[in-house]
Amino acid sequence: MDFPTAPQAGIYGETTESSCHSPRFRTGLRRGEKKSEDYISTDYLDQALADFSGYIAADELYDGPFCVLSIVDNRTFRRLCYEVLDHDAKHDDILAFFRRFKAALDSRRLSVDAITTDGSPLYPGPVAEVFGDASHQVCQFHIIAEINKAILKAVAGVRRALAGKIPKLPRGRPRADASKSLARRKKRLEQEVTVLFDNRHLFVKRQLKPIEKRTLADMTRRQPQLKALREIMHEVYRLFDRRCRTETALKKLARLRRRVRRFKTLSKTLRKLFTANIEKALTFLDDAFLPSTSNAVERGNRRHRKMQKSVYSVRSRGNVVGRIALDMQRDAQAAGRAETVATLHCARTISYENTL
C-alpha cells in the first residue's frame, strides 16, 4: 500500500511551493509603524485633545544616541506630542518643541493651566517663555529622591566614621584586661556598623512600624546626629501634605532651612533643601487637580525602555519614531479593547449560564 509522501521542507522549516498550494502566511511580516505615523500626524491629536484637561507633563528620555521629548496629558495619561532628536536635548530644542505644541493648542483654542517636569534646568526658561502664566510644578518624586540620596550619604559618612574607630588587635585570643576591653569595644563597633548598614533605609522611609521605630531608637542612642537626620526627613515628608496650602508649606520649609543651617557639615550635604526646585514642588498644594508627580509621562518612558529590551532592531531614528507612534496608537485604542473584552466576557458568561 502506498502512503502519501510528506511535504518536503524548505529553508528554515517552510514547505516548498510544490507541496503546499496555499499562500504564504503574511501576518507579522509588516510592521504598523508607517500607518501609525500617518494616524498620529492626522486624526490622533484631535481625538486626544477632545477631552484635554489643561494639565500636562513633559520629560526627555535618552535612548543611546537619541533623545525622545514627550508631552503627556497629566490627567488622562495620553501622550499628546513627541519628538525624537539625534543629540542630547538643549534649551533651543525644548523651546521649539513647546512652541510646536502651543501652536497646536492655539489652533483649537485650548490653553495649558499647569505643566509638571522634573528638576532639570532645561525647562524653567522655555516653560515661562511659551506657556506664560501657567503654573510650573516640579515632580515631587524627583525632589524627595534627591533628598533621600543626600540623607543616605550622610548616614554613610557616620558609618565610615564608626568604622574608622574600630581598634586593630593582634591575632589570637586577648589575655590582658586592656586587650579584652579593646576586643569588646571592637565587637560593639562592628555590630553598630553592621546594624546601621542593614537598616539604613529606616532614615528615609515615610512611615515606620513600631518595631522599626525601636530599631531606629537603638541605632541613634549613641549617635544624636543620626536622630537629627531622621527628624529632618520626617519634616520633609510633612511639606508635601495635601491638607495644607503652599503658603503654609513654605513657612515649614523656612523653619526647616534655619534648623539645617545650624549644622555646618549637614547643611553642605543637604544643599538640595536650599534650591528653588523644592519650592516649585509645592505648587500642587494650591490646586486640587494638579498632580504632584510626572508619573503620566514616566510610565510611557518605562514602556519604551521595556520595548527596547525585547526588540533589538529598533535602534535607528526612523524606527524609534515609528515605535513610539505605534505605542500611541495602541494607547488610543485601549478603551475600545477594554470594551470588547468586557463584551466577550459577558457573552461567555451568558452562554455558560444557558448551558446549565
pLDDT at position 320 is: 82
Distance CA 147, CA 292 (A): 16
Instruction: Mark whether 84 and 156 lie in a shared domain.
Output: no
Instruction: Mark whether 177 and 267 lie in a shared domain.
Output: yes
pLDDT higher than 80, residue 326 = no
Boundary of a domain, candidates 240, 256, 280? 280
Residue 50 covered by a domain: yes
pLDDT higher than 70, residue 338 = yes
Residue 87 covered by a domain: yes
Distance CA 215, CA 220 (A): 9
- What's 66's domain CATH number? 3.30.420.10
pLDDT higher than 80, residue 177 = no
Q: What is the DSSP string of 254-321?
A: HHHHHHHHTSHHHHHHTGGGGSSHHHHTTGGGG-TTS-SS-HHHHHHHHHHHHHHHH-TT--SHHHHH
| Residue 22, amino acid | S
Residue 222 covered by a domain: yes
pLDDT at position 307 is: 78
167 lies in which domain range?
149-280
Cell of 218: 537603638
pTM above 0.85, yes or no: no
pLDDT at position 35 is: 67
Instruction: Mark whether 234 and 271 lie in a shared domain.
Output: yes
Instruction: Mark whether 275 and 318 lie in a shared domain.
Output: no
Residue 20 covered by a domain: no
Distance CA 113, CA 135 (A): 6
**Average pLDDT of 88-102?**
94
pLDDT higher than 60, residue 6 = no
Instruction: Mark whether 46 and 116 lie in a shared domain.
Output: yes
pLDDT higher than 60, residue 224 = yes
Q: What is the largest CA-CA distance in the chain?
A: 101
Q: How many domains does the structure of the chain reveal? A: 2
Q: If you average pLDDT over every residue of the chain, what do you get?
A: 84
Residue 157 covered by a domain: yes
Contacts of 174 (CB under 8 A, 6+ apart): 180, 182, 183
Residue 28 covered by a domain: no
